[in-house]
Amino acid sequence: MQRTTWLWLLVGLVGYCLVPWYMTEGGFWRFGWLSGIAADADTGAGIWLAFLHGRLYLGAPLPVLAGVAAALLLLADPLRRARAIVALSAAGLGLVMLQGFAVGMNGPRFLTGLFGALGGAEGQAGFGAGATLTLFSLLFMLTTSLSAAGRSTGDAFVTGLIGLIVALVALFVFFPVSTVLVNAFRAPQGGLSLGHFLSEFFSADLWGLSCLTFTDQCGPAINSVLLATMTGATTTLLGLAFALIFTRTNFRAKKLLRLLTVIPIITPPFVIGLALILLFGRTGTVTAIVSYLFDVPKTRWIYGFGGVYLAQVLSFTPIAFLVLIGVVEGISPSMEEASQTLDADAWQTFRRVSFPLMRPGLANAFLLGFIESLADFGNPLVLGGGNYNVLSTEIYFSIVGTIADPSRTAVLSIALLSLTLGAFLLQRRWVGKKSYATVTGKADSGRHAALSRGVKIAAYATALPWAAFTAVVYSMIAFGSVVKLWGYDNTFTLAHYIRAFGIKHTAHGWRFKGVAWDSYFTTLQIATIAAPLTALVGLGTAYLLVRQRFWGKEAFEFSTMLSFAIPGTVIGVSYILAFNFPPIELTGTSIILIIVFVFRNMPVGVRGGIAAMSQLDKSLDEASITLGANSFTTVRRVIRPLMGPAILAALTYSFVRAITSVSAVIFLVSAKHNMATSFIVGRVENGEFGIAIAYSAVLIFTMLAAIVLLQLLVGKRTLRRTDRVAGAP
Amino acid sequence: MNESTRGSVVFREVVKKYGQVTALKCLNLSIEPGRLVTLLGPSGCGKTTTLRLIAGLEAATSGAILIGGEDVTHLSATYRKVSMVFQSYALFPHMSVLENVAYGLTVKNMPRREAHEKAEAGLELVGLKGFGARLPSELSGGQQQRVAVARAIVLEPEVLLLDEPLSNLDAKLRRHVREEIRQIQQDLGLTAVYVTHDQEEAMAVSDRIIVMKNAEIAQEGSPRDLYERPGSAFIADFIGDANLVDCEVLAAGEGESEIALAGARLTLPTGAPGTGAAKLVLRPHQIRLSREKIAGGFEGVVSYGAYLGNQTQYTIDSALGELFVVTGETGQPIATGSNVWIGFEPGEARLVSA
Ligand SMILES: Nc1ncnc2c1ncn2[C@@H]1O[C@H](COP(=O)(O)OP(=O)(O)O)[C@@H](O)[C@H]1O
Ligand SMILES: [Mg+2]
């Protein structure tokens, strides 16, 4: 423990004395700051800024670091030493964060007198490398000493991991969301006001019901709720039909059905909207045929509720399918057999036994569809068409529109957040646990009851046309990208691909001439960095939740899951509101994109990790620990090798999500760091569908390739193990 | 640490609570080096908790734990010189047998070659030479058990902990493996703490048995002590079978007491816990059955008899209540419903408090 503390103390000293405290203009890795480290007000290290430059408020780390060194050298009793370091580093952390938030860009924001006197009048920039190193050092000295001071069984690695994840979640989930809250309460004349918030929140503008009487448009909140209810109900119904066919009939093309569950994961969210436009838009194929055959005028009906609804049902049915397969399979066949031995026929068995057992699962699927629909941004953006707005798009337009109105943005965000959170809490309390327990039931031999004729016909009649429709929609993506101008000039062309991804040979070698390359490479790069970090944070959290006991664990678990229910749009807005100013100024960097992916996709890693780790006997860890390994070695040598599939799933999922997600990203991209999805949305807004679809197709293939590659990598590993099994004497 | 305390384990007023549940009330115990001590008791009495406290896998709510004379209350499991054999063996499924056994050595940065040599020696000690390249899943239950033991002892721990090590083995194998464990423990002079709920197993392997009940120690002592001088009805019943017969102590003297038993007065050459209601402990084989009248005996009726080859077991309804009796006489079984006389040697009977 002493060695670890010394190490972190050293890191802190380097961060405080040798590395620029603030974000540097020229970028950290050029090392231009080296020359000005002692005195320059922009690139100086903390200690020199504090004591040579009169910014006394940066002085706190000096006594803290010195105090820790003294404690390490002078205190012999390990318990007293640990307690002293805990107190010192906690105070240091608090003081550094306090000054960061107190002294803004233009001087002190609160405690004005105090920080003015300490030299804070001129204001300061955001935390940079030096501040970050110092903060990490203080944090890990705190956790390391906590592990030595308390009566807990966790060692320094465990407490460090807890400290790190708690700090990160607080900083990148709670802090931004609470910034949104604060902004929502901010009155136009300054100050915080509940009255202002309430009047904004409950305005007819938001919750208007005129569409119910067909007089006018409803408010976006009502639009969102109606849409989400319809989408949730329809996807549940379709999902159930698919699940029944999949598990209870001997339908031939089950593999194809399985495929249906994978496709949407690798489909960027607006792609289905685009395909629908190609089919049903004013120049769409179906529109043209219908108008030719029946001589009806071409309309723009697809732009509005109908289109968005259709697109969402297409997008989210697979989620319901996935949930309901588990539910339908989880019903113990013996119950159905019991019913049949009591002389109930197939329909009675379904209605009186199977269906009631499925009810919690159905509610679960409905709520998931409801949440997904509320959070969906891509489809309403492409198909909303200006006069049909839901909350997520309204939020976007309130911030990128001509008059940016942060207070309205915040109020809209809170409306959306309270809807998704409400549904999420309902799902957790009401059905979440129940449906989980049925899936993990004991293996049960016996056969599922066959469907009665009526149910079977209904299932086929619902599911098969829909499957065909899905196939058509997806094939549109392939066609749309190789046609000159859809509906007007249907000649075959590769021009869209060439414009987007052209490569040219010049005197200086190969040049990436296509307009899409920049955002494509940025996307790959950021997804590649974000994926392992997401897996790390997600599985690390899962490890803590499954394997460690610590104070406040329930709240910790709940808060990591909570971020699942925060819509991407809200996250995007909250990041803009929170990280546009010191002390944490990240907008416009690629770091903020990486961070947003990590914390948005983390809950899936957590869930996968929990499921995988619960299957590993806890005594494996304990055996390793009693054999003298610390928890880090245990994780590295025992847990990680046994978690291969979960790690792969987390990696794949977060990589793919980083490529396809648009809602949070669209707020955070910059000219320098543009992402594929926001590039495509830009093309769509300009009406350049060809190039948008071509790009989407390339993305889909990129993701397929990535998935296959990752599968192969892990596949090899398992092979090697079987080799050894075969070779044993 | 000096040699005389190496391997000793001491608990001073250790309390362990899991939230509202008290798993250990206030445990004081002291285990001498080189002994095999068994924690015995019914399920849920706190045996595993005690073992995990020694290993450092749980932190004591209060109190102090000493290993080898050093206070390790706040020392994490990683740094305690204690190895544990788990009920489920907990072999690492992705490592070969040899890698499993060498694991503890390699995490301590011992060079790979040396670690593997030591691991080979460990495997040889448990009779698994040549099995090093296999995966745990390719071994039988008994072999996996021995790998777990080898993995624990190659670290030369001060204390070896075993949590119900035989519970996953079938009955025939159990006797064999427990003898092996005892042999290795004695050969290496290890201190071992052995958890079981099976009293026969405890009697067979232990130098000393600590019987636990309801999160406390009920009684401790050598197997013979516990059997011959049970301190309570619970112990008498738990260690070997016993008939507990209600009686009243009229006078309790030094090494002699006078009791009233089913209307008769008897003098026993044994101490009593005090005067008043008590229980007389009669082991099934200490009771004599006879078709003829026994002087000072009691009358009864055979309500059930079972012939087991080497012995015969009877259930007798008598003035002393229902008695369970075992006799080695298998030649002429007594028919169910027969009247019999029951007698016992006053010198063999024990008195415990009711
Ligand atoms: N992790 C735990 N959380 C809560 N209660 C526990 C935990 N582990 C054990 N207990 C409780 O402590 C008591 C003693 O358990 P244990 O030591 O495992 O008993 P034994 O090994 O003698 O069967 C039991 O009542 C058990 O329910
Ligand atoms: Mg136990």
Confidence label for A664 from pLDDT (cuts 50, 70 and 90): confident
The string of pLDDT tens digits covering residues B56-66 is 999 899 999 99
The string of pLDDT tens digits covering residues A151-199 is 566 688 889 999 999 999 899 988 998 888 888 888 777 777 787 778 7
- Locate the DSSP E strands across B68-215: 70-71, 82-85, 159-163, 191-196, 208-213
Name which residue sits closest to atom 27 of ligand 1, judged by CA.
B44
Answer whether residue A526 is part of any domain: yes
Residues facing residue B192 across a β-bridge: B36, B160
Distance from Cα B24 to the centre of ligand 2, integer Å: 13
CA neighbor of A691 nearest in space, from A520, A500, A515, A494:
A500
CA dihedral A299, A304, A306, A307 (to 10 degrees): 90
Angle at alpha carbon of residue B9, lines to B174 and B167, rounded to 5°: 15
Mean pLDDT of chain A: 83
Give A45's DSSP letter.
Answer: B
Q: By mean pLDDT, which of A111-115, A296-300, A578-582, A705-709 is the weakest? A: A296-300
Residue A138 or residue A551, greater confidence: A138
CA A232 to chain centroid, in Å, comes to 21
Residues facing residue B90 across a β-bridge: none
Alpha carbon distance, N-terminus to C-terminus of chain B? 45
Length of chain A: 729
Average pLDDT (A593-604) is 89
Confidence label for A252 from pLDDT (cuts 50, 70 and 90): confident
CA neighbor of A549 nearest in space, from A153, A127, A47:
A153
Answer whether residue A548 is part of any domain: yes
What are the structure tokens assigned to B332, written together? 């002429």
Average pLDDT (A514-524) is 91
Question: What is the structure's pLDDT at A450?
Answer: 66
Residue A296 has pLDDT above 90, yes or no: no
Confidence label for A204 from pLDDT (cuts 50, 70 and 90): low
The string of pLDDT tens digits covering residues A647-658 is 888 888 889 888
Question: What is the structure's pLDDT at A138?
Answer: 96
Residue B180 or residue A326, greater confidence: B180
Question: What is the structure's pLDDT at A152?
Answer: 61
Q: By mean pLDDT, which of A485-489, A592-596, B77-81, B347-351 is the weakest? A: A485-489
CA neighbor of A654 nearest in space, from A588, A701, A611, A594:
A594
Answer whether residue A518 is part of any domain: yes
> Rounded to whole angstroms, what are the CA distances from A136 to A6, A14, A92?
14, 12, 11
Is B307 an interface residue toward A (CB < 8 Å)?
A: no
CA neighbor of B184 nearest in space, from B350, B45, B22, B34:
B34
Which domains are assigned to chain B?
A: 3-228 (3.40.50.300), 241-353 (2.40.50.140)
Residues facing residue B351 across a β-bridge: B280
Residues of the domain holding A656: 491-714
Contacts of residue A300, defined as CB under 8 A and 6 or more positions apart, other chains included, come to: A281, A282, A385
Residue A726 has pLDDT above 50, yes or no: no
The string of pLDDT tens digits covering residues B257-312 is 899 988 888 888 888 888 889 999 999 999 999 888 888 889 999 999 888 888 89
Contacts of B84 in chain A (CB under 8 A): 622-623, 626
- Among chain A residues, the shortest Cα distance to B153 is held by A627
Q: Are strands B36-40 and B191-196 parallel, antiparallel or unpaired?
A: parallel
Confidence label for B215 from pLDDT (cuts 50, 70 and 90): very high
Mean pLDDT of chain B: 91
Question: What is the structure's pLDDT at A438?
Answer: 32
Helix, strand and coil content of chain B, in percent to the nearest 5, comes to: 25, 35, 40
Cβ A153–B58 below 8 Å, yes or no? Answer: yes
Answer whether residue A641 is part of any domain: yes
> Rounded to whole angstroms, what are the CA distances from A447 to A139, A333, A354, A450?
56, 6, 13, 9
Confidence label for A250 from pLDDT (cuts 50, 70 and 90): confident
Q: By mean pLDDT, which of A237-251, B51-65, B110-124 is the weakest? A: A237-251
Element (H, E) at B116: helix B112-125
List pocket residues of ligand 1, CB cut-off 6 Å.
B 18, 21, 23, 41, 43-49
3-state secondary structure of A486: coil
Residue A634 has pLDDT above 90, yes or no: yes
Residue A510 has pLDDT above 90, yes or no: no
Q: What is the CATH number of the domain that holds A576?
A: 1.10.3720.10
Answer whether residue A30 is part of any domain: yes
Distance from Cα B44 to the centre of ligand 1, integer Å: 6
Tell me the percentage of chain A whose pLDDT exceeds 90: 23
Name which residue sits closest to atom 1 of ligand 1, judged by CA.
B18
> Rounded to whole angstroms, what are the CA distances from A98 to A61, A83, A141?
12, 22, 19
Residue A729 has pLDDT above 50, yes or no: no
CA neighbor of B178 nearest in space, from B47, B38, B310:
B38
Name which residue sits closest to atom 5 of ligand 1, judged by CA.
B18
Residue A25 has pLDDT above 90, yes or no: no
Would you list which residues of chain A are within 8 Å, Cβ to Cβ, of chain B? 78-79, 147-148, 151-155, 617, 619-620, 622-631, 633, 637-638, 641-642, 721, 724-725, 727-729
Question: What is the structure's pLDDT at A512?
Answer: 81
Contacts of residue A638, defined as CB under 8 A and 6 or more positions apart, other chains included, come to: A620, A621, A624, A629, B92
Residue A467 has pLDDT above 70, yes or no: yes
Question: What is the structure's pLDDT at B176?
Answer: 86
Residue A58 has pLDDT above 60, yes or no: yes
The string of pLDDT tens digits covering residues A76-108 is 888 899 999 999 999 999 999 999 988 888 888
How many DSSP H helices and E strands does chain A contain?
35, 6
Distance from Cα B48 to the centre of ligand 2, integer Å: 4
Contacts of residue A89, defined as CB under 8 A and 6 or more positions apart, other chains included, come to: A64, A68, A138, A139, A141, A142, A145
Is B315 an interface residue toward A (CB < 8 Å)?
A: no
- Locate the DSSP E strands across A579-662: none
Confidence label for A728 from pLDDT (cuts 50, 70 and 90): very low
CB atoms within 10 A of CB B253: 10
Contacts of residue A522, defined as CB under 8 A and 6 or more positions apart, other chains included, come to: A590, A673, A674, A675, A676
Contacts of A78 in chain B (CB under 8 A): 74
Which range of A263-277, A293-307, B67-81, B213-227 scores highest in mean pLDDT? It is: B213-227
Q: Which amino acid is at A634?
A: T
Question: What is the structure's pLDDT at A720?
Answer: 39
Residue A34 has pLDDT above 80, yes or no: no
ipTM: 0.86
Element (H, E) at A616: none
Cβ A623–B134 below 8 Å, yes or no? Answer: no
- Locate the DSSP E strands across B269-330: 276-282, 287-290, 298-307, 312-318, 321-327
Distance (Å, whole) CA A352 – CA A332: 14
Residue B35 has pLDDT above 80, yes or no: yes
Count structural domains, chain A.
2
CA neighbor of A521 nearest in space, from A590, A602, A595:
A590
Average pLDDT (A37-56) is 83
Residue A711 has pLDDT above 80, yes or no: no
Confidence label for A725 from pLDDT (cuts 50, 70 and 90): very low
Distance (Å, whole) CA B30 – CA B66: 9
Average pLDDT (A551-562) is 80
Element (H, E) at A449: none
How many DSSP H helices and E strands does chain B contain?
8, 20
Is the distance from CB of A45 to CB of A21 less than 8 angstroms?
yes
For B103, the closest of A619, A627, A728 (CB atoms) is A627
Residue A340 has pLDDT above 70, yes or no: no
Tell me the percentage of chain B whose pLDDT exceeds 90: 62
Is the distance from CB of B81 to CB of B60 less than 8 angstroms?
no
Residues facing residue A621 across a β-bridge: none
Length of chain B: 354
Residue A288 has pLDDT above 90, yes or no: no
Is the distance from CB of A492 to CB of A483 less than 8 angstroms?
yes
Phi and psi at B159, nearest 5°, equal: -135, 135
> Rounded to whole angstroms, what are the CA distances from A80 to A87, A482, B77?
11, 73, 21
Helix, strand and coil content of chain A, in percent to the nearest 5, comes to: 75, 5, 25
Average pLDDT (B211-218) is 94
Question: What is the structure's pLDDT at A724?
Answer: 36
Distance (Å, whole) CA B86 – CA B144: 11
CB-side neighbour CA atoms (13 Å) of B162: 32
Answer whether residue A698 is part of any domain: yes
Distance (Å, whole) CA A573 – CA A375: 13
Question: What is the structure's pLDDT at B62?
Answer: 92
Question: What is the structure's pLDDT at A228?
Answer: 95
Confidence label for A718 from pLDDT (cuts 50, 70 and 90): very low
Distance (Å, whole) CA A167 – CA A173: 10
Question: What is the structure's pLDDT at A435?
Answer: 38
Answer whether residue A448 is part of any domain: no
Domain final position from A124, A151, A178? A151
Confidence label for B354 from pLDDT (cuts 50, 70 and 90): confident
Answer whether residue A683 is part of any domain: yes
Distance (Å, whole) CA A445 – CA B35: 49
* Residue of B21, B94, B167 to mutate, interface with A, max A Cβ within 10 Å: B94
Question: What is the structure's pLDDT at B168?
Answer: 81
DSSP track, B129-156: TT-TTS-GGGS-HHHHHHHHHHHHHTT-
CA distance B58 to chain A (A): 6
Domain final position from A119, A151, A183? A151
Question: What is the structure's pLDDT at B52?
Answer: 94
Confidence label for A444 from pLDDT (cuts 50, 70 and 90): very low
Question: What is the structure's pLDDT at A589?
Answer: 85
What are the structure tokens assigned to A649, written together? 């799933």
Q: By mean pLDDT, which of A6-15, A708-717, B219-228 is the weakest? A: A708-717
Question: What is the structure's pLDDT at A721?
Answer: 40
Domain final position from A151, A171, A200? A151
Residue A719 has pLDDT above 70, yes or no: no
3-state secondary structure of A25: coil
Residue A280 has pLDDT above 80, yes or no: yes
* Residue of B15, B61, B92, B110 to mutate, interface with A, max A Cβ within 10 Å: B92
Q: Which amino acid is at A57?
A: Y
